[in-house]
Amino acid sequence: MKPQRAIRTDLALENREMLRDERESEDINGVEIDVEKDGKLGVTVTWVRITNEEGAAAMGKPVGNYITLESAALKGNDIETHEEIAKILARKLGNLHRLPKDGMILVVGLGNWKVTPDALGPKVCAKMLVTRHLGDQTPEAIKALVRPVSALSPGVMGITGIETGEIVKGVAEKIKPDLIIAIDALAARRASRINATVQISDGGVNPGSGVGNRRMALTRETLGVPVIAIGVPTVVDAATLVNDTMDHMIDAMKEVLPRGEVFYEMLSEMREEERYGLIRELLDPYEENMFVTPKDVDSVINRLAGIIANALNIALHPGITTEDVNRYLL
C-alpha cells in the first residue's frame, strides 16, 4: 500500500504534505485533517484521519487515526514544559482508545537498546509503572488507582535471532492483554522534525521501517488485539537530508536569480521526486545505510523516553499524576 513517492518518512502528516503538493490541492478523498495550536507551549497537534481505502492507498498508510504532536520544546530541557506535553499526549491517547476499567495493557518497547537513536522503545519500558505482577497483593485502596500494566523490550532480530512480531504475538497469546501499545523510533522527511515530533496511531506499526527494514507488522490483524503505535522520528536518511537542504538552497537562489534565467527555470521545473532520485544515485552505494541523527541524541532520547513514559503512566493509571510518577521513578 505504499505510494509511488520514494522519499522516506514514517509520519502520516508528511505523507499528506507530499500528496497535497503533488496534487496541488488541500482536498484528498478519504483523508481528513484537524489542527490545534497551543501558542503558550508552542505545540501543534495535527489529527489525520484516513477514512477509506482510497485514502489509505494514496497515503500509503492503513485506515485509521494519526495524531502528530510537534514542538521544538521536545528537544530542550524544560521540565515544566515537558510535563505539560506529557499531559497533552495522555489526553490524546485517551481520545484514541477507550480502555476498559480493569483492562490489561502490554507496552512493547521496539528497537535496539545498544543503538541510541533506536533505543527509545526500551528506554520508555524502563520508565513504565508496571503493575500486572502485583495481582492480589495490591491493596484495595490502590487497585482503584492503577490498571494491570506489563512492559516488554523484545530486542531486534539481529540480537535475538527471533522475529520481533513472533515474540510479541507469543507473549500476547499467553497474557491476553486488552490493548498493546508499541513504541518505536521513526524516520522523518524534514530534518526539523527530528526529535521534535511524536506520532500516535491506532493503525499499528512495522518494526524497523524507519531504517528501511521490513518485519512482521504489529496490528490488530496480526496479533488479534488492538494496537496503538507511538513513535518519534530520531533519524533522517542521507538522501532526504540532502534533498531538504537543496529545497532551502533553491528558495534562496530564486530570490537572487532573475526570472527567465535558464538555471532558474531548471530549478523551478525539476520535480522533487526527480531530484531525490538523482541524489540517491549520487550517494549510491552508501545511501541505503546512511542515516543522520543530531549529536546530542543521547540526552534527547532520555528526555523523550521520560515524556512518553509519563504520558503513558498518566493515561493508563487513572489515579496516577505526574508528581506520583516522578516520585516512583526516583
> Identity (one letter) of the amino acid at 21?
D
Predicted confidence at residue 2, as pLDDT, reads 42
Predicted confidence at residue 60, as pLDDT, reads 87
- DSSP 8-state assignment for residue 61: S
- Reading the block at residue 287, the C-alpha cell is 545511501
Inter-CA distances, 284 with 5, 137, 188, 293, Å: 18, 59, 20, 20
> Each residue's pLDDT tens digit in the chain (330 positions)?
444 445 678 999 999 988 887 776 677 889 999 999 987 888 999 999 999 999 999 898 999 999 999 999 999 888 889 999 999 999 999 888 887 778 899 999 999 999 889 999 999 999 999 988 887 776 776 777 888 999 999 998 888 999 999 999 999 999 999 999 999 999 888 888 999 999 999 988 877 554 555 678 899 999 999 999 999 999 887 777 777 777 777 777 667 766 656 666 666 666 666 766 667 676 666 555 567 787 888 999 999 999 999 999 999 998 877 777 766 654
Predicted confidence at residue 284, as pLDDT, reads 67
Predicted confidence at residue 5, as pLDDT, reads 46
Q: Which helix (H) or strand (E) holds 187?
A: strand 179-187
Cα–Cα dist 131/107, whole Å? 12
- Contacts of residue 230, defined as CB under 8 A and 6 or more positions apart, other chains included, come to 181, 182, 183, 184, 198, 199, 200, 308, 312
The total of other beta-carbon atoms located within 10 Å of residue 308's CB is: 28
pTM, two decimals, is 0.84
Predicted confidence at residue 189, as pLDDT, reads 84
Number of H helices, E strands in the chain: 13, 9
Which CATH code is given to the segment(s) 12-240+288-329? 3.40.50.1450
Is residue 313 a contact partner of residue 128, using CB atoms and an 8 Å limit?
A: yes
The total of other beta-carbon atoms located within 10 Å of residue 282's CB is: 10
Predicted confidence at residue 3, as pLDDT, reads 41
